[in-house]
């Protein structure tokens, strides 16, 4: 009897103090990789998220923000488990993050079935951009094919006639390769899809490259694989002999290590990307300067997108005045993409993937002699991904 009364009083009190509830922090779940060899990417994202929250004074829509990080352990099953924990146990208001396409594909349903909004800060698998697009799913990075479609264009412009492709055999690897194949007009003289993530020695593939002797090699190996790939490319005597073009292989996480190890073969190589640390807009200059001051290195593109994702969410929470349960209002605001991006202006396509520029980047030394990447050219302007047309939304 007594207990029932107390519960009753407590619930009345809760109702009476509803405005006080608004002072409850907004909870954002952020899934990334915080253990295994890929943890260094997750740390970079985590740092960027924390910096973004700091830059916005810890508040969105007048309410405090609490970010709960989930570690996917670079494993789709674990990623799904962590997503379930965030949605069901921590009861987060919104879920963001996801480096890996296969982890996102395994986890998306959990978030979307709960009616919550899901924002990918890196992975952009074709399925979620096309046939399986969802009103509550947003991507704030890119669709996997786009960066390499830009790469195909670059190869055409640079007169490459024969191309050899080496990439990992998983969702993102296949998308990246299909992107190049969409736009590259020359002949693909060899293609190796390697076992992901276990294969980390490319002796057999490089031997084939040498025997075919193509005009260029294109590759995609994110994380520590990228560093190992570049290293072995140089060791195999291919640097300087066959020009290397890459996507998501050389980043600000790997470059300091390559510089330390003296892998000069990476200098002067080209890649395509939607962002670079040297982009000149106020948001980016503040982000890069403060990131370097606080963490000692250039932010990676993973970090730039994680940083953007927080301001993207903030624009929606601000628009609904902190009432985050107003999912329709949030969605309408996200579709406008009215936030200061480190990439300058971008807009949201109808499949909830960004419509944005893709640039040619080159690995060079900065004023202090630190290896970094600099933008050379716009390859694709206001580009819409090729799967958007399959999205019925």
The binding site for another protein (CB under 8 A) comprises 35-37, 39-40, 43, 169, 191-195, 197-201, 203-205, 207-208, 210-211, 224, 227-228, 231-232, 235-237, 253, 257, 260-262
Q: State which residue, 93 or 192, has the beta carbon closest to another protein.
A: 192
CB of 203 to another protein, least distance (A): 4
Distances in Å between the alpha carbon of 316 and those of 44, 320, 336? Answer: 24, 7, 9
Residue 267 φ/ψ, nearest 5 degrees = -65, 135
In the three-class reduction of DSSP (H, G, I as helix; E, B as strand; rest coil), residue 214 is classed as: coil
How far is it, in rounded angstroms, from Cα 118 to Cα 192?
Answer: 33
Q: State which residue, 152 or 197, has the beta carbon closest to another protein.
A: 197
In the three-class reduction of DSSP (H, G, I as helix; E, B as strand; rest coil), residue 19 is classed as: helix
Q: Count the Cβ atoms, other than its own, within 10 Å of residue 360.
A: 23
Distances in Å between the alpha carbon of 141 and those of 10, 66, 229, 268, 362? Answer: 44, 22, 24, 25, 20
Q: State which residue, 91 or 294, has the beta carbon closest to another protein.
A: 294
CA-closest candidate to residue 313, choices 23, 39, 61: 61
CB of 392 to another protein, least distance (A): 27
How far is it, in rounded angstroms, from Cα 41 to Cα 300?
Answer: 8
Q: Count the Cβ atoms, other than its own, within 10 Å of residue 62.
A: 12
CB of 378 to another protein, least distance (A): 32
Q: State which residue, 206 or 359, has the beta carbon closest to another protein.
A: 206
Q: State which residue, 238 or 348, has the beta carbon closest to another protein.
A: 238
CB of 261 to another protein, least distance (A): 5
Q: State which residue, 85 or 257, has the beta carbon closest to another protein.
A: 257
CB of 328 to another protein, least distance (A): 41
How far is it, in rounded angstroms, from Cα 178 to Cα 148?
Answer: 8
- Give yes or no for a contact between 164 and 187, defined as CB atoms under 8 angstroms apart: no
Residue 196 φ/ψ, nearest 5 degrees = -115, 135
CB of 305 to another protein, least distance (A): 19
């Amino acid at each position: 009897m007594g207990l029932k009364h107390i519960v009753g009083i407590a619930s009345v009190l809760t109702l009476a103090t509803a405005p006080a509830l608004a002072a409850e922090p907004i909870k954002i779940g952020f899934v990334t990789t915080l253990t295994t060899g890929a943890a260094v990417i997750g740390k970079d994202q985590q740092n960027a998220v924390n910096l973004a929250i700091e830059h916005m004074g810890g508040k969105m829509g007048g309410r405090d923000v609490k970010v709960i990080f989930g570690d996917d352990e670079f494993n789709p099953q674990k990623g799904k488990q962590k997503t379930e924990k965030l949605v069901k146990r921590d009861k987060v208001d919104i879920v963001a993050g996801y480096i890996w396409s296969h982890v996102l594909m395994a986890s998306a349903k959990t978030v979307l079935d709960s009616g919550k909004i899901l924002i990918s800060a890196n992975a952009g698998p074709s399925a979620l951009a096309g046939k399986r697009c969802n009103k509550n799913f947003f991507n704030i990075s890119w669709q996997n094919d786009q960066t390499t479609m830009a790469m195909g264009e670059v190869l055409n412009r640079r007169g490459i006639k024969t191309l050899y492709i080496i990439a990992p055999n998983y969702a993102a690897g296949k998308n990246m390769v299909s992107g190049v194949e969409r736009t590259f007009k020359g002949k693909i003289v060899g293609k190796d899809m390697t076992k992901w993530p276990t294969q980390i020695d490319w002796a057999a593939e490089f031997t084939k490259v040498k025997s075919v002797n193509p005009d260029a090699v294109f590759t995609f190996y994110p994380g520590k694989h990228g560093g190992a790939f570049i290293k072995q490319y140089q060791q195999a005597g291919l640097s300087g002999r066959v020009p290397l073009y890459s996507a998501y292989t050389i980043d600000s996480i790997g470059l300091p290590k390559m510089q330390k190890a003296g892998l000069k073969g990476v200098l002067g190589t080209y890649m395509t990307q939607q962002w670079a640390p040297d982009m000149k807009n106020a948001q980016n200059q503040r982000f890069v300067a403060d990131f370097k001051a606080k963490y000692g290195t250039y932010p990676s593109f993973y970090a730039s997108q994680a940083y953007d994702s927080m301001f993207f969410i903030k624009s929606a929470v601000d628009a609904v005045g902190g009432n985050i349960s107003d999912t329709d209002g949030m969605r309408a605001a996200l579709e406008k993409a009215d936030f200061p991006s480190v990439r300058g202006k971008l807009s949201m396509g109808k499949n909830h993937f960004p419509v944005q520029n893709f640039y040619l980047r080159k690995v060079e030394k900065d004023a202090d002699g630190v290896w970094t990447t600099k933008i050379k050219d716009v390859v694709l302007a206001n580009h819409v991904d090729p799967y958007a047309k399959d999205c019925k939304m």
